[in-house]
Copies of this chain bind each other. A is one copy, B any other.
Amino acid sequence: MGITLGDHQYGKAENRIVRIVRDSPRHEIRDLNVSTCLRGGFDAAHLTGDQGAVLPTDTQKQTAYAFAKTVGTDSLERYALALARHFVNDVEPVSAARVEVEEYAWVRVSVPVPGSADAGETTEHDHTWVRSGQEVRTLAVTVEADGGTWITGGLKDLVILKSTGSEFHGFLEDEYTVLEPTTDRIMATSLVAKWRFGDVDAQALDFDAVYAAARRALVTTFAHHHSLALQQTLYEMGKAVLEAVPELVEVRLSAPNKHHFLYDLGRFGIDNPGEVFHADDRPYGLIQASVIRDDAPDAGPAWQQYSGLV
């Protein structure tokens, strides 16, 4: 009975690259967390310690920073594709490369307009921002040696809450069921969403516009949809994204149910008609679902995350 090496991959995780564009007095900023991952013929490194085929993770780091200047980050997806293609095309043992990017958003600060007669008039500052704590934008590209290319986008940490328009009742009951049904509750989650692109012209597509449209569909649906369960809301959100963005073929959603429990004030003779809640930490419901087009192509390695083997 033998023991053999199975799947393996390696790379440099969490390169914290900040790119400033200062071609004009109005600077631009992109604040990124870039991870690179190589797959291929690295068996010797595992089996005998021979590093002859291994491009050091330090080199991957240097390349990620260098490409932030030479390729630029005007389009995050094209930056990631250039980086992945470089590894696949220029480093012989690499059979596939995956580049994952998180983007932290910043918003320009508002400052008074110099010389304005209206003291309250404000304008965006040219080179000062505050970090927007809303969602983190995510994306991943995978490029294989034969040119096969997969692109996903998404977001995480979008904390969204509605204070009404959510019910939960009519559920299955067994001997351990003590939950009371409700026709009006707070519904809140910290959404993770990922979407998979179909066959697109990656050099021409306006990826930022796709992101904005997908995010808008998620948020608007969460707000407008009268929910009978978080499951239903998730499906509607995924469907809305696919309806809004023809370039996408699948949406995957993960939603912790951030429970807000109505606080029992009746013990103190105080009425509490949906006004005072305890925001609980753990445990939490966790719902995951995929929504997909009937004619979606095979996902290939699109969903195989860098950190996903273990």
Contacts and interface: CB of A to CB of B under 8 A. Distances in A.
Contact of A293 (B3, B54, B134): B3
A2 B106 CA distance: 36
Nearest to A45: B231
Contacts of A9: 287-289
B288 A3 contact: no
B14 A172 contact: no
A10 B53 CA distance: 43
A11 B286 contact: yes
Chain A interface helix/strand/loop/mixed? mixed
Number of copies: 4
B219 A13 contact: no
A78 interface: no
Contact of A45 (B159, B174, B177, B229): B229
Interface in A6-43: 6-22, 27, 29, 31, 35, 37, 42
A52 B147 CA distance: 47
A290 B308 CA distance: 12
B176 A69 contact: no
B277 A20 contact: yes
B268 A128 contact: no
Contacts of A211: none
A161 B104 CA distance: 13
B160 A130 contact: yes
A242 interface: yes
Contact of A54 (B52, B57, B171, B288): B171
B133 A176 contact: no
A121 interface: no
Given A54-B172, A290-B5, A282 B14 contact: yes
Contacts of A69: 265, 270, 272, 275-276
A179 interface: yes
Contacts of A252: 6, 309-310
A27 B177 contact: no
B307 A288 contact: yes
A281 B21 CA distance: 23
Contact of A231 (B46, B93, B268, B280): B46
Most buried by B among A22, A179, A286: A286
Contacts of A159: 130-131
28 contacts: A2-B293, A4-B293, A5-B289, A6-B290, A6-B291, A8-B289, A10-B286, A10-B287, A11-B286, A12-B284, A20-B276, A20-B277, A21-B275, A22-B163, A46-B232, A48-B232, A49-B232, A51-B168, A51-B172, A55-B174, A55-B177, A59-B178, A66-B176, A91-B172, A93-B172, A109-B220, A109-B223, A253-B310
